[in-house]
A and B are shown apart, each in its own frame.
Chain A
Amino acid sequence: MYNDKESQKIVDIIQNFARKHSLFVLAYGTGCGAIEIPPTMTSRYDAERFGIRGAATPRQADVLLITGYLATKTLKRVIRVYEQMQDPKYVMGFGSCAINGGMYWDSYNTINMLDKYIPVDVYINGCMPRPEAVIAGFVKLQKLIQEGKADGWDRYKKNLDEYRANQKKIITNWVMPDFNR
């Protein structure tokens, strides 16, 4: 639908402009990176000047941060949380652990490639990315949103079967409600 700026309708441009300036981030953290979020949000780096602020529940949030390694046990909760969020929703993967497993790549209980299980819009590299890098990631995400390229939620719906197959490879005892696309 929104592939590049030229083909965007004027209403999309306005909509995306509004979206990118009010990113509500779910207060949820995995791995080491959750500790980088408080300085990012509070006065020193003050992410609120970008319109980024916390949200208490998945249904109020736009952005899901996977802040570091993701244990197989947590993956189940992350999928549940992700599916509860309203469209449009965005996912950011923090640090090398989310990208390729990082230093936990040979651990029996952490996944290695986050984008095989849920669609990721922006990856931030580092171990752990500093608040500056986190903000740079958010700015990148805003740019993608404005251009209509942050379409992870759309990809998830389209390729749900593929994502489900990958998820079920790890979560053997699947006792979660179905996702209505």
Chain B
Amino acid sequence: MSENILHNEQKLLNLLEKKFLLKESRIIRAKRVEVKVEPKEVIPVLLYAKENSGYIHFAHMSCVDWIEDGEFEVVYILWHPEEKINLFVKTRVPRDNGSLPNIDFIWRQANTYEREIREMFGLRFEGLEGRKEFILEDWNNIPPMRRDFDTEAYVKEVFFHRLGREDAKDVREKIQERTDEELPDFAKKYSRD
């Protein structure tokens, strides 16, 4: 890909790198820019992106549970309607007792995502308003999207099981064997290799 095409992406990265202390930053591919920041830098970066760089659309916000590192990663996805670029702002907080600043004064709709993450992962947002109970009802277990929540054990305990599923075999090996087989002629033209 020529430099020319990624011109807008590079411009954004240079601006952000000059202004903020980024932990990591890269262009994933055309139209995708990723920056990793400290939790306290989240508000400045988002505000700067919205007010000065034209990333006015808050597309999504999600959370990833990195249980191995003992951290949650929260991803804010912004969208530039004119340049058509997605900006991913990622930040990491400790799993226990971590907290993030509330950003719903920048985009009001962030409130919904934050409440969902608070409920599903148990991550605290400073100063977040709204009822604690959002999607779940009468939930008194650990937040269900945490990876230390054992879904299968919970399901076994709470729900009934119709007979007929116990003999479900692990077919992954069988499928793996089959993928090594020679393809029949008619299928060859659809094959990737």
Contact = CB atoms under 8 A, between A and B. Distances in A.
A113 B161 contact: yes
B5 interface: no
Interface stretch (B95-103, B136-144, B185-193): B136-144
B155 interface: yes
Interface residues of B, number: 18
**Which of B138, B151, B159, B165 has the most C-beta atoms of chain A within 10 angstroms of its own C-beta?**
B159
B160 interface: yes
A169 B159 CA distance: 9
B160 A116 contact: yes
Interface string A74-116: 0010000000000000000000000111000111110111001
A73 B137 contact: yes
B107 interface: no
Given A99-B162, A100-B164, A172 B155 contact: no
A116 B160 CA distance: 8
Interface in B162-193: 162, 164-165
Interface string B137-157: 110100010000101101100
Contacts of A72: 137
Contact of B158 (A73, A76, A169): A169
The secondary structure that dominates the B interface is loop
A108 B160 contact: no
A35 interface: no
Given A105-B155, A106-B151, A112 B137 contact: no
Contacts of B138: 171-173
Nearest to B165: A100
Interface of A: 72-73, 76, 99-101, 105-109, 111-113, 116, 166, 169-173
24 contacts: A72-B137, A73-B135, A73-B136, A76-B137, A100-B161, A100-B162, A100-B164, A101-B161, A105-B161, A105-B165, A106-B152, A107-B155, A108-B151, A108-B154, A108-B155, A109-B136, A111-B159, A113-B160, A113-B161, A116-B160, A166-B160, A170-B159, A172-B138, A173-B138
